[in-house]
Amino acid sequence: MEPILKAKNLVKRYGRVVALDRCDFDLMPGEILAVIGDNGAGKSTLIKAISGAVVPDAGDVWLDGRKVSFHSPLEARGAGIETVYQTLAMSPALSIADNMFMGRELRKPGIMGSLFRQLDRPAMEKFARDKLTELGLMTIQNINQAVETLSGGQRQGVAVARAAAFGSKVVILDEPTAALGVKESRRVLDLIRDVRARGIPIILISHNMPHVFEVADRIHIHRLGRRLCVIRPQDYTMSDAVAFMTGAKEAPEMAPEMSEPAV
Amino acid sequence: MASETGPADSYESATKGSPETVAEFVHQRSAVHRFQHVLHQTPSLVPLIVLLAAVVVFAALLGSKFFSPFTLTLILQQVAITGIVGAAQTLVILTAGIDLSVGAIMVLSSVVMGQFTFRYGLPPSFAILCGLACGALMGFINGTLVARMKLPPFIVTLGMWQIVLATNFLYSANETIRSQDIVEQAPILQFFGESFRLGGAVFTYGVVAMLLLVLALSYVLRHTAWGRHVYAVGDDPDAAELAGVQVRRVLVTVYVLSGVICALAGWVLIGRLGSVSPTAGQFANIESITAVVIGGISLFGGRGSILGMLFGALIVGVFSLGLKMLGTDPQWTYLLIGALIIGAVAVDQWIRKVAA
Ligand SMILES: Nc1ncnc2c1ncn2[C@@H]1O[C@H](COP(=O)(O)OP(=O)(O)OP(=O)(O)O)[C@@H](O)[C@H]1O
Ligand SMILES: [Mg+2]
């Protein structure tokens, strides 16, 4: 099986900091790939390089076997890659519905939409409300409330709902449960499985080992700006994974079949 | 759930049987708190209240001398240009920028309209188009420098202010085009100065233009994707970019539109003065920024409504004319407007706390 998303030799420097050091990456169709690593290991930079948020200094990315080079998140999104960034990327003063549809707004049918470019507020609000209800996030009373009036966890929920709703090829989640409560984290994990059940592969960055070991099909261990190894959760314990990640233990050789898992 | 047997999940099972109802807070909000919330949603409310209060106070002090259709529409006429330039300023300030070149662009565009007609003998309507194009070009230069070169708007427009103003004086050779000549040869240049009556009320087409412009922009900002993007860019440009907004394109279009609106103000200016004067409109910068700030639009970008700017401009107009009719020293006007500016920013900060 060919990877749906593949990267080779990605390099990204910030001044003298090398955030990505000839990093390779593979995502297989239909899988949940967890990416773990220390703070500052370069996980966020890796997914930004893939999703067009940063342009790598070197290296190539293939989507569906075709070489791509995204220069903006909008381009990656157009290709079906939907991302929840660690910073969430929300406009605080705008409403939940506005934020969910940022850059892909729905317009009214007929002349109001085509000539006067009027937004179809009711449709956008209904969609947003439905998606948040699916996530069990209707602690939110008013879909028109400004995002800045939401709690950190609620904001994260909105961002995850946005990505899950629109992702068509790949969904990338950078620490989607970092601010969530126990129940809400559970819902996000369920949502991740739902998305996979729709046949869409997911990249999940997380520091939460139990979550990672629970949902991941494969685990990409990131260290010092590059892929250290990829393991299967059933082959190792969480302590092993943490030991590899922190350099306390020698990483296993990457087994050749690891890049072609039977999902 | 397959994971229920896993040790990692044991604590999660404790949530079983927890009530599924959502936390509902009984909001024992004070009236002040509720008011703060309303303002957060409708930021133009404060200037509207101040405006109405000012009208009531002056009406009480001056009676029908002030509170008459004639006087009230006179105020509209006096703020028409500030309102139009303020609309341009609003767009830029919503993106967390500032445009110090609005006045200069307005004057240069009016000079282009006049000189193209009288120096080159072009048809006046074509000269007007050239003036509008001139405004668009100046805006494009501002926008490109801000969006592509990532220079701070304050610096870019400070520079453009000087450049455009100097160009204006060099090109026009400091020469005024007289009103009579315009009346005889190119009356369309004075179109916005023409007026019509509705009972005692007197409206110029300049006033109509200002009102239509503000209403149109209010619609665009609130009900179109581009309008939402303007707010998103002003709120947090990095987040907007990640969320799929073409930040640079939005910025360039904002500055271009601002330039075109300033050129329109230049045309209205000809109507107001009757003549084309390269030395006119020196205070348009500061007046437009004043209207925007009193109108409750945040200088940090992303918050406020253009209707607020209109109310802000009208507040200044009401104070100026009202105090003049009372026969006070004009310095009192400046003093009060200064206090209003500071008050408006204080209210803006207070409203922002609603989120915290
Ligand atoms: N915009 C930036 N400018 C300068 N340096 C940066 C920038 N973004 C990231 N870096 C640097 O790149 C390195 C990798 O950062 P990155 O955010 O990818 O780490 P991470 O693995 O996501 O960490 P965390 O788990 O804390 O989110 C860090 O050393 C960081 O300081
Ligand atoms: Mg990160």
The answer to whether residue B28 scores a pLDDT higher than 80 is no
pLDDT tens digit string along A39-58?
Answer: 999 999 999 999 999 999 99
ipTM score for this prediction: 0.90
pLDDT tens digit string along B170-203?
Answer: 999 999 999 999 999 999 999 999 999 998 899 9
Amino acid A178: pLDDT: 86
Count of CB atoms situated within 10 Å of the CB of A233: 18
Which residues of chain B make contact with A52, given a CB cutoff of 8 A?
none
The answer to whether residue A125 scores a pLDDT higher than 50 is yes
Are A93 and B231 inside 8 Å of each other by CB? yes
User: Which tokens in the block code for residue B106?
Assistant: 């307005």
The answer to whether residue B17 scores a pLDDT higher than 90 is no
User: Which tokens in the block code for residue A62?
Assistant: 């293939």
Indicate whether residue A87 lines ligand 1 (CB < 6 A): no
pLDDT tens digit string along A204-217?
Answer: 999 999 999 999 99
Of B280, B285, B289, B282, the closest CA to residue B338 belongs to: B289
The residue whose C-alpha atom lies closest to atom 14 belonging to ligand 1 is A42
User: Which tokens in the block code for residue B140?
Assistant: 């494009």
Amino acid B282: pLDDT: 86
Which residues of chain A make contact with B219, given a CB cutoff of 8 A?
116
Average pLDDT over residues A68-95: 93
Are B224 and A88 inside 8 Å of each other by CB? no
Q: Compare all CA atoms of chain A with the CA of B16 and give the residue at the minimum distance.
A: A183
Closest atom of ligand 1 relative to the A175 alpha carbon: 27
The answer to whether residue A262 scores a pLDDT higher than 50 is no
Candidate from A92, A104, A213 with C-beta closest to B235: A92
CATH numbers and ranges of domains, chain A: 5-93+146-257 (3.40.50.300)
Out of A17, A18, A212, A223, mutate this one to test ligand 1's pocket (max ligand atoms within 8 Å of CB): namely: A17
The answer to whether residue B27 scores a pLDDT higher than 60 is no
The residue whose C-alpha atom lies closest to atom 5 belonging to ligand 1 is A14
What's the CA-to-centroid distance between A46 and ligand 1, angstroms?
Answer: 10
The answer to whether residue A195 scores a pLDDT higher than 50 is yes
What span, in angstroms and rounded, lies between the C-alpha atoms of A45 and A212?
20
**Lowest-pLDDT choice from A81-95, B17-31, B258-272:** B17-31
Residues B312, B93 contacting (CB under 8 angstroms): no
Residues A155-158: contacts with CB under 8 Å, at least 24 apart: A155/A88, A155/A90, A155/A179, A156/A84, A156/A88, A156/A180, A157/A132, A157/A184, A157/A188, A158/A90, A158/A96, A158/A99, A158/A100, A158/A132
pLDDT tens digit string along B245-288?
Answer: 999 999 999 999 999 999 999 999 999 999 999 999 889 999 99
Amino acid A259: pLDDT: 53
Which residues lie at CB < 5 A from ion ligand 2? Answer: A 44, 86
Q: How far is A89 from chain B (nearest CA, A)?
A: 4
- Return the half-sphere exposure (C-beta side, CA atoms, 13 A cut-off) of residue B73: 17
- Amino acid occupying residue B345: V
Of B288, B285, B298, B293, the closest CA to residue B340 belongs to: B293
The answer to whether residue B322 scores a pLDDT higher than 50 is yes
Amino acid B345: pLDDT: 86
Question: Which residues are CB-contacts of B136 (< 8 A; sequence separation ≥ 6)?
Answer: B256, B259, B260, B263
Candidate from A103, A182, A186 with C-beta closest to B244: A103
Which residues of chain A make contact with B8, given a CB cutoff of 8 A?
209-210, 213-214
The answer to whether residue A261 scores a pLDDT higher than 50 is no
- Please report which confidence band the pLDDT of residue A120 belongs to, taking 50, 70 and 90 as the band edges: very high
Query: Following DSSP, what letter does each residue of B311-356 receive, concatenated?
Result: HHHHHHHHHHHHHHHHT--THHHHHHHHHHHHHHHHHHHHHHGGG-
Query: Following DSSP, what letter does each residue of A104-170 receive, concatenated?
Result: S--B-SSHHHHTT--B-HHHHHHHHHHHHHHTT-TT---TTSBGGGS-HHHHHHHHHHHHHHH-SSE
Residues B131, B116 contacting (CB under 8 angstroms): yes
Instruction: Say which DSSP state B170 is in.
Output: H
The residue whose C-alpha atom lies closest to atom 28 belonging to ligand 1 is A40
Which residues of chain B make contact with A83, given a CB cutoff of 8 A?
242
Are B225 and A107 inside 8 Å of each other by CB? yes
Average pLDDT along chain A: 89
Angle at A158 between CA A94 and CA A201, to 5 degrees: 130
Polymer length in residues for chain B:
356
User: What is the CATH number assigned to the segment(s) B44-350?
Assistant: 1.10.3470
Question: Which residues are CB-contacts of B200 (< 8 A; sequence separation ≥ 6)?
Answer: B68, B69, B70
What's the CA-to-centroid distance between B125 and ligand 1, angstroms?
Answer: 57
pLDDT tens digit string along A217-227?
Answer: 999 999 999 99
Amino acid B25: pLDDT: 44
Closest atom of ligand 1 relative to the A207 alpha carbon: 25
Query: Following DSSP, what letter does each residue of B202-223 receive, concatenated?
Result: EEEHHHHHHHHHHHHHHHHHHH
The answer to whether residue B2 scores a pLDDT higher than 70 is no
The answer to whether residue A145 scores a pLDDT higher than 90 is no
Question: Which of residues A49 and B8 earns the better pLDDT score?
Answer: A49
* Domain residue ranges of chain B, discontinuous segments joined by +: 44-350
Q: Above pLDDT 70, what percent of chain A? A: 94
Amino acid B26: pLDDT: 46
What span, in angstroms and rounded, lies between the C-alpha atoms of B230 and B95?
6
E strand or H helix that includes residue A18: strand A17-27
Count of CB atoms situated within 10 Å of the CB of A31: 20
Amino acid B22: pLDDT: 47
User: Which tokens in the block code for residue B254?
Assistant: 């904002």
Indicate whether residue A86 lines ligand 1 (CB < 6 A): yes
- Please report which confidence band the pLDDT of residue B210 belongs to, taking 50, 70 and 90 as the band edges: very high
The answer to whether residue B1 scores a pLDDT higher than 60 is no
Q: Above pLDDT 90, what percent of chain B? A: 78
- Please report which confidence band the pLDDT of residue B5 belongs to, taking 50, 70 and 90 as the band edges: very low
Residue with tokens 């080992």: A209
Cβ–Cβ contact A120 with B under 8 A: no
Give A202's strand partners: A32, A171
Residues B128, B67 contacting (CB under 8 angstroms): no
Residues A64-67: contacts with CB under 8 Å, at least 24 apart: A64/A4, A64/A169, A65/A2
Q: C-alpha B331: how far from its chain's center?
A: 25
Amino acid B3: pLDDT: 42
- Please report which confidence band the pLDDT of residue A257 belongs to, taking 50, 70 and 90 as the band edges: low
**Lowest-pLDDT choice from A68-77, B102-111, B202-211, B343-352:** B343-352
pLDDT tens digit string along A226-255?
Answer: 999 999 999 999 999 999 998 888 888 766
pLDDT tens digit string along A3-20?
Answer: 999 999 999 999 999 999
User: Which tokens in the block code for residue A14?
Assistant: 């910030």
The answer to whether residue B154 scores a pLDDT higher than 80 is yes
Candidate from B11, B22, B225 with C-beta closest to A105: B225
Residue with tokens 């209010």: B218
**Lowest-pLDDT choice from A99-103, A187-191, B351-355:** B351-355
Amino acid B46: pLDDT: 87
pLDDT tens digit string along B45-76?
Answer: 889 999 999 999 999 999 999 999 999 999 99
